[in-house]
Structure 1
Amino acid sequence: MNHVLTIAGSDCSGGAGIQADMKTFAAHGVYGMSVIVSVVAENTQRVIGAQDISPTLIAEQLQAVFEDIRVDAVKIGMLPSPAIMACVAENLERRRPRNIVLDPVMIAKNGYPLMDSRLAETLVALVFPLVDVVTPNIPEAEVLANMTISSTEAMETAARIIHAYGPRYVVLKGGHRSDDAADLLYDGNTMHWLRAKRIETKNTHGTGCTFSSAIAANLAMGKPINDAVRDAKAYVTMAIAHALTIGKGCGPTHHFHDLYKYGLPRQGAQK
């Protein structure tokens, strides 16, 4: 079994962050581990508050994992402060794990700022050079590339700018556009477009976390980048298609649709 570590904030309502990452890992058949950097009090309607974990304890969590368990991929989510960014970057640079996927989380689905956009320069300087894949959505890419993105041509321009910051691959998510859900994978040479039919639903809480975690899981299992991103997009599209109407706001995606629908196989059943 392959092992994947998530470094992110927690979501007590279970739809995003660490909780979404661990569900995604389990759905892909990989062993999930977590380093929590912030405890977020949120639900489907709003973020009530957040308490960051001290860099010392974050470093100790990272030590606990890396000194004992092989890490085949790392997913990074919310990094809410310069001290936390520096702590994570220092540990990753020292330990050099493979297949690092960064979801540059800046804003929660309900608009609550999870990272001050002014910290984007710090994130770019400290973390981007260490990662294999970065997965910004359009609002995040606009901050990172310092430009407005209103067309596919602008997405390609932004991808080139972000790629120059150091990651091997840029996956720019087009879900915030009004046309079909078109995502862009840029490898430094070629633009690869991945398209899927847009699903009309308000229940998209945690989609970015789920997508980036699925990419990390696929890379951990040895899939090449194009396949890893394509299969992750198919998975998150399925999860959105069967999204759960839970809570009064923006509900979560359904990470375990097949399991919930069909249940566990009976003991001794023919595979």
Structure 2
Amino acid sequence: MPIPRYAVIGHPVAHSLSPFIHATFSRQAGIPLEYVAIDAAPDAFDAVLAEHAAHGGAGANVTLPHKRRAAAICGNLSDRARRAGVVNTLIRTATGWDGDNTDGVGLVRDLTDRHGQDLRSRKVLLIGAGGAAHGVAPALLDAGIADLFIVNRSGDRTDALADALGEPMRVHPRYFRDLGTIGSFDLIINATSIGHSGEDMPLPGSLIAPRCDVVDLGYGEAAIAFLSWARASGADHTIDGLGMLVEQAAESFKCWHGVRPDADAVYAALRARESALAVPG
């Protein structure tokens, strides 16, 4: 019987840790599988996914910039994917693809279970209105935050995300020009590439309330600049996106195989590898 094939599809995607993560989950669960990274330019997603299916693809993770398109090609969406409007997990069926989104549950599980965060009644700033922001926003609301302020470079996208969430009493679209006047926050989440390219940080330190925690959904070098700004501005805890990456992957694995692997063991292994690479040789 052929080994089922899975993939992460994105552009760029060569840096992805997902093949390592799912190979480790496979060994944990005793479930043989092949998992590869596939680069697909923005206009090539449909063709790449069709080729993946033709070669035995039973599922796929989807990352930048394809999450919205992935939702559009699905015959069925889970409730959380429907609310998010974007898909990061595809499940092959007899008639096509079903879609799910595990980003939100991955972020909340990392923050609450691994980092001991209590999200209830917190005033949250979400920077970004793209696929990652769409994926995590509904889960933050479900976790009981008091207010969600959304800012993005494109006002139209900010308004679209706020409208899609459908909670005008708790969700507040704002714009980058408002950042100096909207007050401070208990939790700030960066769902953009701000700081990932070494540019100056266009954010005022006044956003950081006492005991504010700051999260960048990126990890490794990509998260350094944003989290450094947060620490310099007085943030209490700073958290990168590695834990979320592992948790959303574990949830995807469960979607495909009905078994939730040990995410903590994989997270620890990735942190150990990160530390080893940081030590001068």
TM-score in terms of structure 1 length: 0.41
Greater RCO, CA 8 A, separation 6+: 1
TM-score (norm 2): 0.40
Q: Which has the larger radius of gyration?
A: 2
